[in-house]
Amino acid sequence: MPTRTRVKICGLRRPADAVAAAAAGADAIGLVFYGPSPRAVDLGQALAVAAAVPPFVARVALFVDPDPELVRGVLATVPVELLQFHGEEPPAFCRSFGRPYIKAVRLREAGDWARAEARWGDAAALLADTDRPGRPGGTGETFDWSLVPAHRRLPLILAGGLRPDNVGAAVRAVRPYAVDVSGGVERAPGEKDPARMEAFLGEVRDADAA
């Protein structure tokens, strides 16, 4: 059976972008609850975007070393299926909300992936992202994909600087469970471009078929 690489589009701030992401074929969308990000949403914006997402497209709430009260407030207000943590959150913190979670890890050297699998063994997936000091994510930069081992126990979500013109090569090289994109499908920070989202999904499907 041919592989179907899942696609998450992150950093949505407008309901129309959620509709366009789903129409392009995205499996999941991300809502950024991290104030310094140009893609940050408040609860009202998040609720409006989440409400525009059709059934069977997952909603993911993204945090960076959050106060637990923030996470609890989001879960009480916004319908989200998954949590995504991009900071230094330990496993006990990640699992304490009783919701499936994705842990972002920055790969610097061989062995980082295996160490992360051992540490966050109950994560729904690990997201491999680019390591840039002081930048917890959304860097728009790729990393050395050869740091991802071929044999993995947890699902891999590949992220970091993916765009329509490089995601096909990324999928062919790494064969991840999913890819995650933010800046690569935008026309401005926090403003998604429907044509770029369609092009991105098209490249993923072509790579799946190769």
Ligand X SMILES: O=C(O)c1ccccc1N[C@@H]1O[C@H](COP(=O)(O)O)[C@@H](O)[C@H]1O
Catalytic status, residue 129: yes
Angle at alpha carbon of residue 149, lines to 145 and 154, rounded to 5°: 110
Stretch that binds ligand X, among 12-20, 49-57, 69-77, 155-163 (CB under 6 A): 155-163
Selecting among 17, 129, 131, 180, the annotated active-site residue is 129
| 13 near ligand X (CB under 6 A) | no
Decide if residue 139 touches ligand X (CB under 6 A): yes
Residue with smallest beta-carbon separation from ligand X: 137
103 near ligand X (CB under 6 A):
no
Cα(208)–Cα(4) distance, integer angstroms: 6
Residue 183 touches ligand X, criterion: CB under 6 A: yes
The stretch near ligand X (CB under 6 A) out of 46-54, 132-140, 147-155, 166-174 is 132-140
User: Which long-range CB contacts under 8 A does 92-101 form with residues at least 24 apart?
Assistant: 93/68, 94/120, 94/123, 95/122, 96/68, 97/68, 97/71, 97/72, 99/75, 100/124
Q: Does 106 bind ligand X (CB under 6 A)?
A: no
Contact 61, 84 (CB under 8 A): yes
Asked if 193 is an active-site residue, the reply is: no
**Binding residue (CB under 6 A) for ligand X from 13, 29, 126, 138:** 138
Q: Which residues does the annotation mark as catalytic?
A: 10, 129
